[in-house]
Chain A
Amino acid sequence: MIAAHLPALQVVIPLMAAPLCVLLRRPVLAWALTLAVSWVVLAIAVALLLQVLETGPVTYPLGNWAAPWGIEYRVDLAGAFVLVIVAAIGAVVTPYARRSVEHEIPRDRIYLFYAMYLLCLTGLLGIAITGDAFNLFVFLEITSLSSYVLISLGSERRALTAAYRYLIMGTLGATFYLIGVAMMYMMTGTLNMADLATLMPAVADTRTILVALAFLTVGISLKLALFPLHLWLPNAYTYAPSVVTAFLAATGTKVAVYILIRIFFTIFGGVEVFRINLIGDVLMGLAILAMVSGSAVAIYQNNVKRMLAYSSVAQIGYMVLGISFATVTGLTGGIVHLFNHALIKCALFMALGCVFMRIGSVNIRDMAGLGRRMPVTMASFVVSGLSLIGVPLTVGFVSKWYLVQAALEKGWWPIAVLVLLSSLLAVIYIWRVVEVAYFRPAPEGGPAPAEAPLSMLVPMWLLTGASVYFGIDATRTLEVAGGAAAFLLRATP
């Protein structure tokens, strides 16, 4: 009975819990509710993934309205995978959040934080589950509005300008997306993605659809911070509260990448979308620029959070590069990197949250001697950093392997070289932090910072451990990602 309604519950539970948080008011109660919800949500997401693996895509007509008219929730392998990523990150971040939020957000606003956090989770899950292009826009707005608020809760005043800038760019992106959807609706008369997919080949050559595609691509590229539309991201990540950065870095841009995949391979699935006006080449070029420039700029940052933000720009480049290959190997690499990068970046930002809690700064200069003072935190930072670089036996290696393989399969060896070059740049910026933390003596006279509380260390190490585990045995993640890629490309796996 309940099993049949899992797709709806996936979204409805966190949505209903958000106003409950406001009613509860007490920080601890709000947190406890969020924790319970985030774990239930994860259980549902895993159940859905298992169901999809067993029986194929699951559809759920909302309110029993039949598909092209009513809103349809549709979970295929790619969607289920993203659901699990978002829910898992949510479930791990929530326990971490309690102490970190107490430390960074004024007590009287904590319940609002959890309400917004749940709304953001709702939106992200909704995007991954819906099969309706307009409904996706609604969820996109829920996500965006709540994340503007979450970012503006940062302790520095600059968080406000960062949030405002993100709001402008985000609204532009969402509007572009809406314009694109409206144009598609004009030409096909439907908003259901599966329906759009069947009707699209007939009208694909019209100028309206081409323009729609352009609006959709640019709009979502703004959302996922594809170079050169990434300018909102570094400030937003830098000045947001630590928890928010950890959560959004692991989920926000990933879901945007997922939308891009949906547009290209589901809505335009019947059309060879990358044949149209060099769109694949443009994406690939931008992805490569993102990879190289993001990593290069990261090297010169003194604020470690900002450094990792630029690194995210580069990593998004990897994902888009995987998409732009439009081959099973490439898309597998892109999709599996959604998961892998979520693990890595979330753990890294969590480590910085621990650092910020203890020394009140994430500036590289203030991190001197931390290797001895906070050994557990910094060890996690190093392991996740190695994973970001792509050292074997970590998840980063798996993604890189697939991207390089995809490039070589097509015979595009310069791209393979650039992928590897970008990971070498990652060695430089990660090792800058390592050298300061382990080789520079701690400043004299300062308070001796202790290790972060256990409730923050455990989630961080859970992700770090996962980042190693799925690097040693990547068959499970690759089975799902490869299956999703094959399904999206309609290829036999």
Chain B
Amino acid sequence: MSAEATILLAVAVPLVAAVLIVLTGSRPNLREGVTLAAAAILFGLVASLFPTVLAGGRPAVVLGEMLPGLNIAFEVEPLGMLFAAVASFLWLVTSIYSIGYMRGHHEKNQTRFYAYFAIALSSTMGVAFAGNMLTLFAFYEVLTLCTFPLVTHHGTEEAKRAGRVYLGILLGTSIGLQLFAIVWTWTIAGTLDFTDGGILAGKAAGPTVGILLALYVFGIGKAAIMPLHRWLPAAMVAPTPVSALLHAVAVVKVGVFTVLKVIVYIFGVEFLAQAASSRWLLYVAGFTIVAASVVALRSDNLKRRLAYSTVSQLSYVIMAAAILTPLSAMGAALHIAAHAFGKITLFFCAGSILVASHKTLVSELDGIGRRMPWTMAAFAIAALSMIGIPPTVGFVSKWYILRAAMEAEQMFAVAVIVLSTLLNAAYFLPIVYAAFFRAETAEPVAAGGPARGAEAGDGGTPRHRGHRREGHGEAPLCVVLALTVSAAGIVFLFFFPDLPFALARQLAGGAG
């Protein structure tokens, strides 16, 4: 099969899957079969593009002309390849997880959930492979809209309010700022194609560059740079698989991915490095890293803590990109992959805890490691990756960002990384410690034990949030399986980082 067809299929397969999911809605097993099959096919498709891209190829295809001179076009370059590979692999893992979670937690409207989930993946692929800014923007907006029903899945008053924040910030920034920036770029440069070295060199100068960069960076609300980060904690009201794949991987990574694309292919790293008016980005990103970490430190709700940790980690990518050297761009690309694996594992664990024990607060987790050893072991590995301790992939990306900051003599960035590492340790390690080494506060009836046989789906009334299941064990098998795989991925990528490396190195033009 030609690479062109593969690209189009990568976007189309999840869409077709969404239709099939709706059609098979009355038969849950078949419906989940569709999701799994689609995820597997998608990963296969994306993987089949690897050799071409690694060999330096840039397979491209034009779907059609949207506006005169502006096509809906796809082009696979290393960064998009990396992102698509991570997202599609984790969709497969998340699908397995979702089955355990959604059934174990007795969620309603599961057909709608799986259908919109598939559409979200389709638009993620569209963003990853977009060949120009217009195409990217179109899929970016579709992603916002199709994740809205996922965020508001429970249909409660709280969900509605979160949905408002979500849509308000994401649509507000994208229409109000990003679209403005895109049209402006189009009027200045006469093209929106992603081009090596950027399209603005020689066409914009002085403060224009800084203003345009600000419009892009703040217009890409999905990157959650402060003060436009509030939609992300708000989105945590969604079911956990949504938080895991979409709000730790797909949606937020679309944000930083877009920022990275804009910096590398619209402005061009070298062009931006010469523009004095673009310096502020480093400081805004640095501030976000530290401030979000502080908020995370003070959050008792586990998912909220993870959300603010995500805000902080996203800005790592932006700060790395803002150092504006080839090496730093490479670090940024690696961190997209590294954080994806780490954060999705953490969310899987949070969901696993919720399903098995209905606990949502950090302060309730004392001693839970003995009941849910697999979950908390995975949590510990992912937490190490977040902090950046070997043998986890988080160490690799952080190493490169730190090295880039040192080489560029950006002492501000170095200081931020050091400070934030301490903060990361301060808000993750106590959870691991409490889970394994502290005794349970309220002594539950010691039935069940840590055996995995105590499936969470049995009998109980999980809709009652206050209800504390006595003597719970591990979460359902699917859930544990998924989080084990993603945690294994974290370690695997530390020892075998060749593939992401090769792609990131291409992006950086052979540096490092």
- Using a CB–CB cutoff of 8 Å, the interface residues on chain A facing chain B are 386, 389-393, 398, 400-401, 404-405, 408-409, 413, 416-417, 420-421, 423-424, 427, 431, 435, 438-439, 472-475, 478-479, 482
Contact = CB atoms under 8 A, between A and B. Distances in A.
Contacts of A427: 167-168, 171-172, 175
Q: Which label, helix, strand, loop or mixed, suits the secondary structure of the B interface?
A: helix
A472 B64 contact: yes
Given A393-B138, A439-B160, A386 B145 contact: yes
A417 B68 contact: no
B183 to A, nearest CB: 5
A482 B180 contact: no
Contacts of B68: 475, 478-479, 482
Contacts of B155: 438-439
Interface magnitude class on chain B: 20 to 34
Contacts of B172: 424, 427
B42 to A, nearest CB: 21
B152 A405 contact: no
A285 to B, nearest CB: 21
Given A409-B187, A417-B180, A420-B180, A392 B67 contact: no
Contacts of A478: 67-68
Q: Which label, helix, strand, loop or mixed, suits the secondary structure of the A interface?
A: helix
A428 to B, nearest CB: 8
B418 interface: no
B67 A408 contact: no
B183 A404 contact: yes
A405 B72 CA distance: 19
B66 interface: yes
B176 A431 contact: no
Contacts of A474: 66-67
Contact of A391 (B145, B159, B160): B145
Contacts of B64: 472-473
Interface of B: 64-68, 72, 134, 137-138, 141-142, 145, 152, 155, 159-160, 163-164, 167-168, 171-172, 175-176, 179-180, 183-184, 186-187
Contacts, number: 75
Given A392-B138, A401-B183, A420-B176, A472 B66 contact: yes
Nearest to B171: A427
A405 B183 contact: yes
A427 B163 CA distance: 13
A475 B137 contact: no
B183 A421 contact: no
A416 B160 contact: no
Given A392-B141, A401-B183, A424-B176, 18 more contacts: A386-B145, A389-B171, A398-B67, A409-B187, A416-B180, A416-B183, A417-B180, A420-B179, A423-B175, A424-B175, A427-B167, A427-B168, A427-B171, A435-B164, A472-B72, A473-B65, A474-B67, A475-B66
Nearest to A473: B64
A416 to B, nearest CB: 6
Q: Which among B67, B137, B183 has the highest number of chain A CB atoms within 10 Å? A: B183
A391 B180 contact: no
A405 B222 CA distance: 24
Contact of B137 (A392, A405, A408, A423): A392
Contacts of B145: 386, 391
Given A392-B138, A408-B184, A435-B160, A401 B67 contact: yes
A442 B302 CA distance: 34
Contacts of B141: 391-393
A438 B172 CA distance: 21
Nearest to B186: A405
Contact of B65 (A392, A435, A475): A475
Contacts of A479: 68
Contacts of A408: 183-184, 187
B401 to A, nearest CB: 33
B11 to A, nearest CB: 13
B71 to A, nearest CB: 10
Contacts of B65: 473, 475
A390 B66 contact: no
A199 B428 CA distance: 82
B179 A404 contact: yes
B167 A431 contact: yes
Given A405-B186, A439-B155, A424 B66 contact: no
A426 to B, nearest CB: 10
B306 to A, nearest CB: 26
Name the 6 nearest CB pairs between A and B, nearest first. Answer: A392-B138, A404-B183, A408-B187, A439-B160, A475-B65, A392-B141
Nearest to A386: B145
Contacts of B186: 405
Contacts of A392: 134, 137-138, 141-142
B238 to A, nearest CB: 15
Nearest to B184: A408
A386 B141 CA distance: 11
A439 B160 CA distance: 7
B183 A473 contact: no
B106 to A, nearest CB: 20
A401 B160 CA distance: 30
A424 B170 CA distance: 11
A409 B141 CA distance: 25
